[in-house]
Structure 1
Amino acid sequence: MTLTGNLLIGQRAVPGSRDAIHAIDPATNQALEPAYAGGSGEHVAQACALAWAAFDVYRETSLEQRAHFLETIASEIEA
């Protein structure tokens, strides 16, 4: 996966519109690339609306399904 510095909102990569934010390597205290442009209030509102829309569906899943979902997210992050 190539990091682009875009925000991920829903299933879309969206360029931010605020000042750039860099992650910091804790071992060297150096800024990491790419920079991520901060999100606007509109970006936050979009993300919140999508989360709200998904809530009822997620709430109806079993605890086992939720655990599998979260474990899959963790595996993908580690990958």
Structure 2
Amino acid sequence: MLVCVDESGFEPTVSRRHGYAPKGRRVHGLVSGHKRPRTSLLAARIGDRLQAPSLFTGACNTAVFNAWLARQLGPV
């Protein structure tokens, strides 16, 4: 049995670097300088099924991954 594991991180507010304006005019807009917490997703694919998906706030490190592996994926 092949198990594929992946972790992805998402930022709730990603600033756009480009915009649209009438020809000859500049695009103006405000961008917040405040950083917001990152949301991470851990999940496994076994066959054609998604198993043990887990969303959490913050970055994934070894301790978080090992806990997910033991508590969420281990029982599957």
TM-score, reference length from structure 2? 0.28
Which structure has greater helix proportion?
1
TM-score, reference length from structure 1? 0.27
Structure number with bigger Rg: 2
Greater RCO structure (CA 8 Å; 6+ sep)? 2
